[in-house]
């Protein structure tokens, strides 16, 4: 299955240890993925953290909650790029989807996706390129979470897991859930820009995100404790061009 995933993986190998419930290694090029399986349900708290905020049908989420076994993937290879490591993990997850895997969870990103998304049949012959460049970062590698805070109008939206790339997470106070796609796109585009350019952003910086729209960054306020951690979180405030010039 691995060798058929992409033309660059014709030499991929997988070794299993039959004495254990499930333990194996998959490798190709610089990548080595350790697979450790358990015939027990994954901790329910961790499942909820990844499944509840995710963006796919409730029917699939119920299937994930009802799973009775799990496999944990660890990157043990030599590629130092966090993105390439994630892509390699996604490839193995895609191969496992052909063995009955229901979903792929990313705990550091507080999100998940149906395992079938990563099948090579779904991604086509350019599967690695799709995972590397065509896949929104906020779909799995960095999570996009929406939540309501008691006594505060509107909806907070933020990313999780950007610290794994050496980047800040971003948050915004939206008017409602209907703005989810807008902020998901903004966060994804900014994270992709930072990842590819090596640029850095900090509180006080501004960046153009639309024809006349800019975002201004600030640190979370003291009473915005729900935005803290695990790494740096920057709050996005959208302003118009004339407001940007005023600053």
Is residue 3 over pLDDT 70? no
Say if residue 130 is in the same domain as residue 164: no
Residue 37 has what pLDDT? Answer: 87
Clarify whether residues 157 and 214 are in a common domain. Answer: yes
Q: Same structural domain for residues 210 and 234?
A: yes
In the listed set 107, 135, 163, which residue is the last one of a domain according to the structure?
A: 135
Tens digit of each residue's pLDDT (9 = 90 or more) over 194-203: 999 999 999 9
**The pLDDT of residue 169 is above 90:** yes
Identify whether residues 128 and 197 lie together within a single domain: no
Separation between Cα atoms, residue 234 and residue 228, nearest integer Å: 10
Residue 7's contacts (CB-CB under 8 Å, 6 or more residues apart) are 125
- Strand 111-114 versus strand 103-106 pairing type: antiparallel
Query: Of 30 and 18, which is predicted with more confidence?
Result: 30
128 with 148, same domain: the answer is no
Same domain, 150 and 129: no
In a domain, 1, yes or no: no
Report the distance separating Cα 47 and Cα 43, nearest Å: 6
pLDDT given at position 5: 52
Mean pLDDT (whole number) for 110-137: 80
What would the pLDDT profile of 66-120 be if each residue is shown by its tens digit?
Answer: 999 999 999 999 999 999 999 999 888 888 887 788 999 999 999 999 988 887 6
Token match 């901790």: residue? 43
Let me know whether 160 and 197 are in one domain: yes
Number of H helices, E strands in the chain: 7, 12
Does residue 196 belong to any structural domain of this protein?
Answer: yes
Residue 151 confidence class, pLDDT cut points 50, 70, 90: confident
* Per-residue pLDDT reduced to its tens digit, 37-52: 888 999 999 999 999 9
- The rounded mean pLDDT for the chain is 87
Domain identity same for 149 and 125: no
Counting every residue written for the chain, the total comes to 247
In a domain, 77, yes or no: yes
Would residue 204 count as lying in a domain? yes
How many other CB atoms are there within 10 angstroms of residue 221's CB atom? 9
Q: What is the mean pLDDT of residues 127-139?
A: 83
Q: Which of 135, 165, 194 is the last residue of a domain?
A: 135
User: What is the extent of the structural domain holding 116?
Assistant: 7-135
Answer yes or no: pTM beyond 0.85: yes
Average pLDDT over residues 149-160: 93
Number of domains into which the chain is organized = 2
| Same-domain pairing of 187 and 94 | no
Same domain for 35 and 115? yes
Give the separation between CA 179 and CA 224, rounded to whole angstroms: 20
d(CA 112, CA 241): 36
172 and 96 in one domain? no
* Same domain, residue pair 93 and 147: no
Answer with the one of 91, 107, 135 that is the final residue of a domain.
135
Domain-embedded: residue 95? yes
């Amino acid at each position: 299955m691995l060798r058929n995933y992409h033309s660059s993986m014709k030499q991929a190998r997988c070794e299993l240890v039959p004495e254990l419930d499930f333990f194996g290694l998959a490798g190709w090029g610089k990548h080595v993925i350790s697979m450790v399986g358990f015939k027990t349900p994954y901790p329910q708290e961790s499942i909820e953290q990844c499944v509840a905020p995710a963006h796919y049908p409730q029917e699939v989420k119920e299937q994930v909650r009802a799973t009775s076994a799990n496999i944990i993937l660890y990157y043990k290879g030599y590629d130092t790029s966090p993105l390439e490591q994630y892509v390699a993990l996604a490839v193995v997850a895609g191969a496992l989807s052909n063995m009955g895997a229901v979903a792929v969870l990313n705990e550091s990103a507080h999100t998940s996706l149906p395992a079938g998304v990563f099948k090579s049949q779904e991604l086509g012959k350019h599967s690695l390129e799709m995972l590397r460049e065509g896949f929104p970062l906020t779909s799995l590698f960095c999570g996009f979470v929406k939540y309501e805070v008691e006594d505060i109008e509107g909806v907070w939206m933020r990313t999780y897991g950007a610290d794994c790339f050496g980047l800040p997470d971003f948050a915004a106070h939206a008017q409602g859930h209907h703005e989810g796609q807008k902020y998901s796109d903004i966060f994804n585009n900014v994270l992709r820009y930072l990842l590819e350019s090596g640029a850095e952003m900090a509180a006080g910086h501004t960046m153009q995100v639309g024809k006349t729209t800019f975002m201004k960054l600030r640190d979370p306020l003291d009473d915005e404790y729900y935005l803290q951690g695990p790494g740096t979180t920057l709050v996005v405030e959208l302003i118009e061009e004339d407001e940007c010039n005023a600053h």
